[in-house]
Structure 1
Amino acid sequence: MNNIKKFVLSAITVAIIMPSALACTSVMVGKDASENGSVIISRNEDFSSNNWAKHMKIYPAKAYKEGATITLSTGLNIPAPAKTLRYTAMIDWDGFSYKTPDNGKVYEQRGVNEMNVAMTATNSAEINKRALQADPHTDGIVEQNMVGIVLGQATSAKHAVQILADYIKLYGAGEGYGVQFADLDEAWYMEVGGGHQWIAVRVPDDKYLVIANGLRINGVDLDSKTVMHSEGLFDTVTQNKLLQKPDRHSFNFAKAFGNIGDFYNIDREWNSQKILSPSIKQKTRLKQYPLFLSPDDKISIEDIAQVLRADYKGTELETKGVRPSGVDRNSEAHIIEMYSDMPKELAAVIWQTPSNVKYSPFIPFYNVMKTVPAEYASGTDNYDDKSSWWNFRTLGTLASKSVLNGKYEEVVNETWRDLESQFTTSLPFVNNMLKTMYKQDANLAINFASDYSYGSLQTTLDKASQLKSALMTELTHSTEKKYDPEEFKKISNL
């Protein structure tokens, strides 16, 4: 076998066996801690390859025949609900006939349904050996399948936790992870340790939570109304000695099931909390950081974007920090706002990057959007000039340090920061206009919000295409030979 064939075979094998989201960074914000009173969840989604397009998708409500089943990627068949709710999602390009959410291979990274329940999944987490011996993983529920089966049914954030918990009770979990849920009033964060053990906590209204790729939940009261957990959780931990002295009223789920103190995770947690609560001085590389903190100032979309793009420059970890939040293998990022003071159809706003979080902007659109620009639903793992994901990914490559020492990096970053600033400044005015319009004509307001969303996505793509063309033209000029005056005169006369 020649070297080219070996390389292609190796690449195909890796693509088949490798999980989708290898590492993520997240921020959750209670409604009293956010700048505009919205409940917020957010996440970076990182992948094993720089070339893995994402598609935006709208799933309509669907009815299933009695006795119908849904086949998950693990081969597990689960009963289909009588009907599912409409929801939007961001999915992998290789969703395999993703016209339906029940094909088992979609990888829906985030979504919001028509009942204003939002979900993003997952923050992958490593589970320690002792915990896996006590409660092994199964061929049950994994990241690849969960968003659609939960959002298709959930009527609140807490209900979404229970739906996922019920599936885990029946079928087990195939991996460790953290999942975020939100509705118009509250946010819940859920962690899954072993095959059947899980815990969920309500984010306090005046606090925020940052998550990397380690389990985070610690210091919580298992008997509190703001905590949900698997049946027999405390007994499992006690009997298997997963904690030396387990305490029901200050329970450390992360230590019992995870691997705390991993620099890969805690460096990001420390840095994220430093950005949002700079007045709180914390040492670097503590085993665990506080689960919830109060921000120094109310948290804005710009603040969360800063966290999701952050590196360690200017901090104590500048020369030794492991795995910053913003990395080149990031494939997309999203911030979801849930407004309690907006009409129900217009209450969810999704801020989506079309590609890498460092080199593409957060674009706002309302969950009521009726259609997605075709370019945002195209692209594979090969370059595609028509794909929005690839247009922004190309800009990222042109802006990277590997091309002319990052000559274009500031041009691209300034373009998108200016556009993001326009979006964040104007959206409150758009919201106010929509509320007024809705009182007069609900359908008019809904249609306007849909058109605004479509237009925001399309306009941003147009800017990306124009910027890419300009930079490519400039790049080709950089390869031109520098002629002396006589030679230039000669060739000009040819």
Structure 2
Amino acid sequence: MNYSACTSILIGKGATVDGSTIIGRNEDSRSAWPKHMVVHPHRTFTQPQEFRSKDNGFTMPLPLEAAKYTATPEWTDQYGLFEEDGINEYGVAMSATESTYSNDRVLGADPLVKDGIGEEAMVTVVLPYVKTAREGVKRLGQLIETYGTNESNGILFSDQDEAWYLETGAGHYWVAQRIPDNGYAVISNQMAIERVNFQDSDNFMWATHLQEFVTENHLVRHQTTDFNWRDTFGTQDASDLYYNTPRVWYGQKLFNPQIDQEPQSFNLPFIRYADRLLSVDDAQFYLSSHYQQTPYDPVGTGSETDKKKFRPVSLAKTQESHVLQIRPEFEPGLAGIHWLAMGVAAESTYVPFFAGITTTPAEYQLGQKDYDSKSAYWIFKHASILVDAHYNTFLPDLEAVQKELRIAFKQEVKHVDEVAKHLHGTELADFLTAESAAGALAALKAYQNLAGLLITKATDLSPLNYTQDMNL
């Protein structure tokens, strides 16, 4: 399988309206490849534990204690688990991975490791074993140095205080940068991190002997006093111009419209500072976007050439989209919200699951490769496909349901906050589980009703219709 396409966003706590850290990503692979939403309980073992990948044979020992965490695994583990995203009981969020590409010079010096750690294993072997975002970066970095990695990736971490982005650039080398509290970053299948300050361990982390590796293998292409990770390890080719850089351009256009940039520029910065405070709504809008209000919107009014020119952020091959919000002040179970949109984000809705839940509705744990009317993934996908068939005609109906649910979910979060701040322990967990389930099931009901409405309307849109001219 080829997991080569995602789009990510990270926002620091000082850049948001409520002091939350926010990380999010679209998981893009296939047009019909279901995901589940699960909760792994806290576990303590007495016998040695081992992770063994069904994907590439990667094997490593695991600690005897694992924290509770949410996750969105594949419908099958035949190709690996691909748990992808989640929040653990300590309030650490993780999303893995943003597929990136290393250049030939770097891979010639340190090739990828066939049985090294890859995307399908990362959440599973890291998230249950860390208590801060910084610990997550360190653990994953150590695993990459020890076992190697079989692909180039970007990985997102956050907690109440920090958001971090880690990139792997070769078989054993990596670097990570803390997103400034007042900054944000959008990434699209390219090496993103630029200048690395090796004197600033508060805001950067890196692989052991990274500088020596670059020097000894003559990997620097431009004479400068700065260490530029993107320039040294990344690519700049024609595919970037059409597939990658336009998505970064659009994200920065949304949050910094006053800055004049070109969608095919190789010089778009990694870190930007928005012209306003951002919210979960902004992150969700970006991840569900397709170049609205530009000539490049594939369902817009531009020329046929422009509409097909660039790869959009949200597209048919999105399996799920998530925004992981860690809010200030609350305890971890209430502070964390795992916002999940099953299927194509542009045509789905972001459902809030509080991090303190103990399980998810059965419908969110169902779904195989073939259509299943009881599966949450397929319920959202079904409505999406019906909209696609008559997009301009049915779009208003879809948008009405999406707006209704967005408002309902805001009311739900406000209600939960007011009640849950007085609850603790099992009582809190039960309340969060019940409220999250109620919202999740309400979303399914709304999309089932939408599908029924669209099917009814579609009966009059057949090409076999005939209107008689009464003057004949």
Indicate whether the TM-score tops 0.5. Answer: yes
In the TM superposition, 1:37-436 aligns within 5 A as 37-47=19-29, 49-72=30-53, 73-95=55-77, 105-138=80-113, 139-225=115-201, 226-245=203-222, 250-260=226-236, 262-263=240-241, 264-315=243-294, 319=306, 321-400=309-388, 403-404=389-390, 406-424=392-410, 427-435=413-421
SS at match of 2:195: coil
Gaps of 5+ in 1: 1-17, 97-103, 487-494
Distance 1:86 1:305 in 2: 25
SS at match of 2:455: helix
One-letter amino acid of the counterpart of residue 86, structure 2: G
Distance 1:147 1:184 in 2: 19
Stretch deviating more after TM superposition (142-151 or 54-63): 54-63
Q: Is the 8 A contact 2:221 2:232 kept in 1?
A: no
Distance 1:67 1:310 in 2: 45
Q: What whole-Å deviation, never above 9, does each CA across 1:54-73 have from its counterpart, x for those lacking one?
A: 10111112233444322123
Q: What whole-Å deviation, never above 9, does each CA across 1:272-331 have from its counterpart, x for those lacking one?
A: 001011122223322121121111111112211221122234337562742110111111
Distance 2:402 2:6 in 1: 22
**Residues 127, 369 of structure 1: CA spacing in aligned structure 2 closer, same or farther, 3 A cutoff?**
same
> Deviation at 1:126?
1.3
Distance 1:170 1:444 in 2: 42
> Deviation at 1:172?
0.3
SS at match of 2:346: coil
Distance 1:286 1:272 in 2: 14
Distance 2:42 2:391 in 1: 49
Q: What whole-Å deviation, never above 9, does each CA across 1:328-378 have from its counterpart, x for those lacking one?
A: 111110001111211232111111102210111011120111221111111
> Deviation at 1:476?
2.9
Distance 2:440 2:391 in 1: 30
Q: Is the 8 A contact 1:266 1:288 kept in 2?
A: no
> Deviation at 1:260?
3.2
Q: What whole-Å deviation, never above 9, does each CA across 1:24-71 have from its counterpart, x for those lacking one?
A: 111100001011110110001111x21111101111122334443221
> Deviation at 1:220?
2.6
Stretch deviating more after TM superposition (306-315 or 382-391): 306-315
SS at match of 2:6: coil
Is residue 457 of structure 1 aligned with residue 440 of structure 2?
A: yes
Distance 1:27 1:333 in 2: 11
Q: Is the 8 A contact 1:369 1:454 kept in 2?
A: no
**Residues 177, 272 of structure 1: CA spacing in aligned structure 2 closer, same or farther, 3 A cutoff?**
same
**Residues 466, 184 of structure 1: CA spacing in aligned structure 2 closer, same or farther, 3 A cutoff?**
same
One-letter amino acid of the counterpart of residue 302, structure 1: D
SS at match of 2:436: helix
Q: From 452, 463, 466, give the equivalent of 1:469.
A: 452
**Residues 42, 78 of structure 1: CA spacing in aligned structure 2 closer, same or farther, 3 A cutoff?**
same
One-letter amino acid of the counterpart of residue 187, structure 2: I
**Residues 316, 223 of structure 1: CA spacing in aligned structure 2 closer, same or farther, 3 A cutoff?**
farther
Q: What whole-Å deviation, never above 9, does each CA across 1:452-486 have from its counterpart, x for those lacking one?
A: 10100011101111111221222234348558799
**Residues 368, 313 of structure 1: CA spacing in aligned structure 2 closer, same or farther, 3 A cutoff?**
closer
Q: Is the 8 A contact 1:87 1:152 kept in 2?
A: yes
Distance 1:395 1:413 in 2: 12
Distance 1:430 1:57 in 2: 21
One-letter amino acid of the counterpart of residue 451, structure 2: K
Distance 2:215 2:402 in 1: 51
Q: Is the 8 A contact 2:333 2:357 kept in 1?
A: no
Q: What whole-Å deviation, never above 9, does each CA across 1:114-172 have from its counterpart, x for those lacking one?
A: 11111001000111111100110002010011101101201110101111111111110
SS at match of 1:24: strand
**Residues 27, 405 of structure 1: CA spacing in aligned structure 2 closer, same or farther, 3 A cutoff?**
closer
Give the alignment's TM-score, normalised by structure 2.
0.91
Distance 1:443 1:64 in 2: 22
Is residue 448 of structure 1 aligned with residue 431 of structure 2?
A: yes
One-letter amino acid of the counterpart of residue 432, structure 2: A
How many percent of aligned residue pairs carry the same amino acid? 32
One-letter amino acid of the counterpart of residue 276, structure 1: F
> Deviation at 1:175?
0.3
SS at match of 1:302: helix
> Deviation at 1:424?
3.2
SS at match of 1:178: strand
Distance 1:76 1:330 in 2: 26
> Deviation at 1:80?
2.1
Cα RMSD for the two superposed structures:
2.1
Distance 2:138 2:356 in 1: 25
SS at match of 1:379: coil
Q: Is the 8 A contact 1:61 1:85 kept in 2?
A: yes
Q: What whole-Å deviation, never above 9, does each CA across 1:168-210 have from its counterpart, x for those lacking one?
A: 1111010000000011110110000000010001111111111
**Residues 448, 281 of structure 1: CA spacing in aligned structure 2 closer, same or farther, 3 A cutoff?**
same
User: Which residue does the alignment assign to 2:302?
Assistant: none
SS at match of 1:179: strand
One-letter amino acid of the counterpart of residue 272, structure 2: L
**Residues 30, 202 of structure 1: CA spacing in aligned structure 2 closer, same or farther, 3 A cutoff?**
same
Gaps of 5+ in 2: 298-305
SS at match of 1:358: helix
